[in-house]
């Protein structure tokens, strides 16, 4: 195992960063969150097809790149640095992860379509769903005679999806987006909107039986979300450093004041630790996908730490920018909202700490 980035990963990072720098400056993100739909279809097409990020995790036999979770983590770091409004996490990670574990003919057909960038999918579960959800806990959607009925709230990526993967009972079903009603709701994170999905006797195709594919997808998503949170934190630190070096008070840069130096040094240390945790989780997930090993401990460690660090970095960014950081025109609030929303996505830090205690056989306080 190595936490260093390979040459291929650095090339992938450079390609994604160059595309985002050209197509998605902060002003474009701010303008986009006030428009409908909030997703940028043109940018997603360029990412999905031209760079091939849609099929990164999909094996070559289905037309994908056959890459590992390490490469997907690098993409998410860059998407986090730009709070990019594209459905990579929801389609290329969560939905793809569920289909990879399904091993059915229907899942294979969907994977081929996803790899080509022709289709975008979303997992129809609340974004707050934890990987540690009890396998026998009921889902809000029921199945009868091959048709699904029910209502799922806080689904991320549903507005941009052509196909929804809906859990019902112990199985996972594929439902065409045209057969469901997707109602956008007010979302804290304007760059990753959520919606309520309603199914009324919708025709569905079974793609997986049993809870294992869904749980694996949630664990994969939680582990890779840590890399996106790392990207958010790194942008906040770099932007804040640039500001305190050029913002003067009392005829000297405000970054020269020791109080701010200490806060930024502490934040740098936390981000370095977050990078190690996120890279460790991505490497463990890559090994798990290749050899079938477990990655639960590494995922729990990464999510217990990275979500909190991203929120702290965003809060420091807003505070150290002073009045400027409080304005709508500065993008700092977008990063704070992404960090806050990400902190409770796919399990809260408390959920992951509790799971880690069980995995490490550490009893809680009496």
Among the listed residues 273, 127, 96, the one whose alpha carbon sits nearest the alpha carbon of residue 196: 127
Q: Are residues 216 and 258 in the same domain?
A: yes
- Could you tell me the two tokens for 101? 């574990």
Residue 77, domain extent: 7-116
Number of domains in the chain: 3
Residues in the chain: 366
For residue 366, being part of any structural domain is answered with no
Residues 6+ apart with CB under 8 A from 337: 188, 189, 190, 191
> 90-129, pLDDT tens digit by residue?
999 999 999 999 989 999 999 999 999 889 999 999 999 9
Average pLDDT score, the chain? 94
Verify that 111 and 130 share a domain, yes or no: no
Residue 21 shares a structural domain with residue 100: yes
Rounded to an integer, the average pLDDT of 84-88 is 95
Residues 20-78 pLDDT 10s: 999 988 888 888 887 766 788 889 999 999 999 999 999 999 999 999 999 999 999 99
**Residues 168 and 232 occupy one common structural domain:** no
Structural domain includes residue 295: yes
pLDDT band at 363 (very low <50, low <70, confident <90, very high): confident
Q: What is the DSSP letter of 135?
A: T
pLDDT attached to residue 293: 87
Check residue 89 and give its pLDDT. Answer: 98
| CATH code for the domain in which residue 31 is found | 1.10.540.10
Whether residues 83 and 133 share a domain: the answer is: no
- Using 50, 70 and 90 to split pLDDT, how confident is the model at 193? very high
Q: Tally the C-alpha atoms within 13 A of residue 330's C-alpha that lie toward its C-beta.
A: 19
What percentage of residues in the chain have a pLDDT greater than 90?
Answer: 86
Residues 229 and 338 in one domain: yes
pLDDT at site 365: 67
The yes-or-no verdict on residue 366 having pLDDT over 70 is no
User: What is the C-alpha to C-alpha distance for residues 80 and 236, in angstroms, rounded to an integer?
Assistant: 10
What whole-number distance in Å separates Cα of residue 284 and Cα of residue 298?
7
* pTM: predicted TM-score of the whole model, two decimal places: 0.96
Q: How far, rounded to the nearest angstrom, does the alpha carbon of residue 308 sit from its chain's CA centroid?
A: 15
Is 285 domain-assigned?
yes
What is the reported pLDDT for 311?
Answer: 98
What tokens were used for 97? 């992860």
Under a CB-based contact definition with an 8 Å cutoff, are residues 117 and 55 in contact? yes
Q: Are residues 355 and 219 part of one domain? A: yes
For residue 365, being part of any structural domain is answered with: no
> Residue 3: its pLDDT value, please?
84
The answer to whether residue 2 is domain-embedded is no
pLDDT given for residue 77 in this prediction: 98
Q: pLDDT band at residue 135, thresholds of 50, 70 and 90?
A: confident
Residues 268 and 352 in one domain: yes
Q: Check whether residue 305 and residue 324 sit in a common domain.
A: yes
The verdict on residue 196 lying in a domain is: yes
Q: Are 242 and 332 contained in the same domain?
A: yes
4-21 pLDDT tens trace:
999 999 999 999 999 999
């Amino acid at each position: 195992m190595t936490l260093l980035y390979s040459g291929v990963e650095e090339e992938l990072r450079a390609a994604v960063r160059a595309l985002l720098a050209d197509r998605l400056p902060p002003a474009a993100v701010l303008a986009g969150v006030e428009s409908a739909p909030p997703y940028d279809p043109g940018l997603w097409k360029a990412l999905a097809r031209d760079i091939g990020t849609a099929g990164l995790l999909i094996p070559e036999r289905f037309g994908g790149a056959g890459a590992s979770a390490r490469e997907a983590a690098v993409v998410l770091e860059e998407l986090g640095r730009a709070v990019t409004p594209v459905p990579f996490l929801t389609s290329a990670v969560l939905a793809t992860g569920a289909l990879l574990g399904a091993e059915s003919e229907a899942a294979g057909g969907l994977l081929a379509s996803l790899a080509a960038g022709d289709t975008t999918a979303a997992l129809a579960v609340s974004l707050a769903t934890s990987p540690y959800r009890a396998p026998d806990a009921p889902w809000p959607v029921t199945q009868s005679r091959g048709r699904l009925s029910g209502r799922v709230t806080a689904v991320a990526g549903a507005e941009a999806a052509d196909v929804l993967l809906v859990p019902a009972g112990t199985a996972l079903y594929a439902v065409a987006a045209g057969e469901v009603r997707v109602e956008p709701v007010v979302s804290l994170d304007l760059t990753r909107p959520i919606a309520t999905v309603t199914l009324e006797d919708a025709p569905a195709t079974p793609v997986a039986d049993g809870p294992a594919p869904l749980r694996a997808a949630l664990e994969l998503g939680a582990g890779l979300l840590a890399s996106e949170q790392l990207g958010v934190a790194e942008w906040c630190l770099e932007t804040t450093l640039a500001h305190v070096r050029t913002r003067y008070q009392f005829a000297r840069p405000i970054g020269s004041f020791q109080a701010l130096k200490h806060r930024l040094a502490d934040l740098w240390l936390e981000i370095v630790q977050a990078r190690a945790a996120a890279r460790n989780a991505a490497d463990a997930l890559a090994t798990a996908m290749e050899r079938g090993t477990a990655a639960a401990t590494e995922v729990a460690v990464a999510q217990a730490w990275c979500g909190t660090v991203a929120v702290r970095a965003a809060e420091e960014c807003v505070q150290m920018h002073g009045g400027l950081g409080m304005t709508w025109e500065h993008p700092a609030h977008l990063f704070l909202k992404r960090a806050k929303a990400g902190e409770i996505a796919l399990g809260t830090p408390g959920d992951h700490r509790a799971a880690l205690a069980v995995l490490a056989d550490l009893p809680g306080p009496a």
